[in-house]
Chains A and B, each alone.
Chain A
Amino acid sequence: MSDQSHSAGETGPSQRGVEIAVALATLAFGIIILIGSLQVGIDWGFEGPKSGFFPFYVSLFIIVASLYNLLQATTLGGIKPGLFASVDQLKRVLSVVVPATIYVALVPFIGMYVSSILLIAVFMMWLGKYSLLHTLPIALGVPAVVYVVFERYFQIALPKGPIEYWLGL
C-alpha cells in the first residue's frame, strides 16, 4: 500500500536498515531473557524444573531466530527494497506519537480528564486546523460522556489531578 506512495526522490530510513535494527533489538531482548533465566536457575530443583527452565529455551529460540533474521537482512537479501517510510510519512506518524506520549506522561499528574481535553484540543487545532469554536464542544464533550459512563454508571474511577479535585468530581 505505502510502497506506491514513495517517489524516486524521497528520502527516509531504508527498510533494510530498520529490519537490521529490529533484529538486533530482538537479539538483545533474547539475551536479556537468557540472563534473567540463568539468574533464577534453569536446571532441576527439588520441585522439578526451576523457574528459569522454560524462559531459557524461549530465549534460545529468540536468539537463533533473530540471528537468522539478521543474516537475512544483511547478507541473504530477503528484504523488500526501498524505504521503511518517507520523511513525510514519519513526520505524520511522529505528529501522533509525540502528543500521545506527552499525554500518557501527563495522566498521572493532572488526571485523565484534563489531559484528554488537552489532547483532543491540540489534535484538532494543530493537525486539523479547526477553530476554537469547533474544537471546544468535542474536547469538553468526550470527557464529559466518559465521566458519566465510567464514574457514574459503571462506578470505575479514572485518575484525577488537582483540577478535578478542585471541581469536586
Chain B
Amino acid sequence: MEEIANLMQGFATVLEPFNIGVMIIGILLGVIIGVLPGLGGANGVAILLPLTFSMSPTSAIIMLSCIYWGALFGGAITSVLFNIPGEPWSVATTFDGHPMAQNGRAGEALTAAFTSSFVGALFAVVMITLVAPLVARFALQFGAAEKFGVYFLAFCSFVGLSKEPPAKTVVAMMIGFALAAVGLDQMTGQLRLTFGSTELLAGFDFLIAVIGLFGIGEILLTMEEGLQFKGKSATINPRVVLQTWMELPRYWATSIRSCIIGCWMGITPAGATPASFMSYGIAKRMSPRGKNFGKGEIEGVVAPETAAHAAGTSALLPMLSLGVPGSPTAAVLLGGLLIWGLQPGPLLFVEQKEFVWGLIASMYLGNIVGLLIVLTCVPLLAAMLRIPFPVIAPIILVLCAIGAYTVHNNPFDVVMMMVFGVLGYVLKKCDYPLAPLVLALVLGDKAEEAFRQALLGSQGSLTVFWSNGLVGSIMLLGLIALFWPIIQNGMARLRPRPAV
C-alpha cells in the first residue's frame, strides 16, 4: 500500500501549476514532432533536452516524457490521413487507417487510433505502477555480475528478436560500444582510442548521435523518396467520437491481446514497431472479419495502435527499475537522468521517490491530456503537414543543429551530427538497425564497468557470470534470446504438422 501513498504524492507533484503547464507544452510539442517528418520521439527529446537543464529534474522528466507520449499520439495522424507513417511504429496503422480515410471515415479511424493508444498506454502505466517497484526492490540485491547479466540480456534480445540480419545487428551494436569507449576510461582514468585528437577527448555523446542518426538521416530518407504530401482532410466532431466509442468495446479481446503483446515487447527491448506489426498480424488471423483487414477495418487500427503505445510506455519500466532503457527514446530519457545528476537504476525508487512517482503520475495525466489535445487539434495538425517540404526541411535542419550545439556548446558536435546523419541514411538503407547502436552508446560505459567489476571480483574468471542461480538464470535467458531464431526453428521442426 506504500505504493498508493507514493503515487498520490506523485499526483500532488504533477498537479502543481508549473508542472501542468510543462505537461501541456510537452504534449503539444510531442504531437507536432510526431507529425513532422524527420522529427521523431528520440531526436525530438534529444533536441529539447538542453532546454531542461535549468529545470528541476521532476519538471524536466515530465516535459520530456510528455513529448514522448505526444509523439506516440502524433504518429497516427499522418498514417491515417496521409498514408505516411510519422513514426516507424505507425506503419501498421496505415494498413487499415488510410483506407478508412479514403472511404470518408477519417474521423472514425482517428478516434479509434487515439482511443486505442490511450488504452494501451493506460494498461502499461498500471503495469508499471504495480510491477516497477517490485522489480526495483528485487534488483537492489544485484551485484556487478547480475548488472552485467541484465545488460547482456537486453543486448542479446536485440540480436535474437530484431528482424534485421543478426550479423548487422551485432556490428551496429558493437560500433555503439566502441564509440562509447572513446575518451576517458572511467575506471583507470586513462585516455583511450583518441589517437591524439583533442576533439575526441570528451568521447562521443549519444545525444549528438541520436539527433544525427534519427533526425538528419530521416530527412535524407524522406528527400530520397521525393514525398508529395497528398492527404485527406478530417474533422472530428463529438458525434463521431461518441459513435466510435460505442463501437470500440466490441473489440475488447483484440484490445487486451494487443496490450499484453505491447507490454511484453516494450519491456524486452524489441520495441514499439515490431509490437505493432505483431499485434496487427495476430488480430488479422484471429478476427472473424480478418479477410477485410487492409480494406478499412476499424479493428486493424485498434490492434497496432494499442500495442505500439503499450510498448512505448512500458519501455520505461526497465529504464526506471533497472537502468536499461527499452527503446531509443527511453535511452535518451535515461541520458537526461544522468545529466540532471540522477543515477538510473533500482536505487532511484529509494532515493528519488518524488522524481519516480512524479513521473509515473504524469504518465496517467499526460495520456489523458494527450487524448484530449489530439482529439481537438486534428485539423490544425493536418494543416501543419501541408507545409511543403522545402520549407519544413531547412527548419528541422536548423533545429537539429541547435539541439546538437547546445548539448556541450561545442560547434564540433554540429559537424559530428552531420556525419552521423549521412551514416544513419546509409546504414538504414543497408538494413543495419540504429536502435542497438544508440543503446550501446548510452549503456556502453555502464556495461563495461559492470563487466570489469565482476571480473575484478573473480580475478578474471568468466565463471562469475554463472556463480549463483540468479546471475546464471539471467545469463541463460540472454542466451535463449540470442539464439531464439534457431530455437524457434528447432521447435517448429519437432512439432507435428497440422493436417491441411
Contact = CB atoms under 8 A, between A and B. Distances in A.
B174 A69 contact: no
A162 interface: no
A96 B223 CA distance: 8
Nearest to B226: A92
A105 interface: yes
Interface stretch (B56-64, B394-402, B477-485, B492-500): B394-402
A104 B401 CA distance: 8
B415 interface: yes
A42 B76 CA distance: 49
B406 interface: yes
Contacts of B429: 18, 84-85
Nearest to B91: A1
Contacts, number: 180
B418 A104 contact: yes
A37 B193 contact: yes
Interface string A93-122: 101110111011101100010001001101
Given A96-B220, A124-B391, A62 B181 contact: no
Given A146-B402, A158-B402, A54 B448 contact: yes
Interface string A40-73: 1000110111111111001101100110110010
Interface string B417-435: 1100110011101101000
Given A48-B452, A49-B455, A93-B425, A116 B193 contact: no
B181 A55 contact: yes
A66 B171 contact: yes
Interface string B216-237: 1001100111100000000000
A19 B178 contact: no
B427 A22 contact: yes
Contacts of A37: 192-193
A52 B192 contact: yes
Contacts of B355: none
Interface in B443-500: 448, 451-452, 455-456, 460
Nearest to A156: B406
Contacts of B406: 150, 156, 158
B139 to A, nearest CB: 23
Contact of A72 (B54, B167, B388): B167
A105 B418 CA distance: 10
B238 interface: no
19 contacts: A39-B192, A48-B187, A51-B190, A53-B452, A54-B448, A55-B193, A59-B174, A62-B170, A62-B171, A66-B171, A68-B167, A97-B220, A104-B401, A104-B414, A107-B401, A119-B394, A130-B390, A154-B54, A159-B411
Interface of A: 1-2, 5, 15, 18-19, 22, 26, 29-30, 32-33, 36-37, 39-40, 44-45, 47-55, 58-59, 61-62, 65-66, 68-69, 72, 78, 84-85, 89-90, 92-93, 95-97, 99-101, 103-105, 107-108, 112, 116, 119-120, 122-124, 127-128, 130, 138, 142-143, 146, 150, 154-159
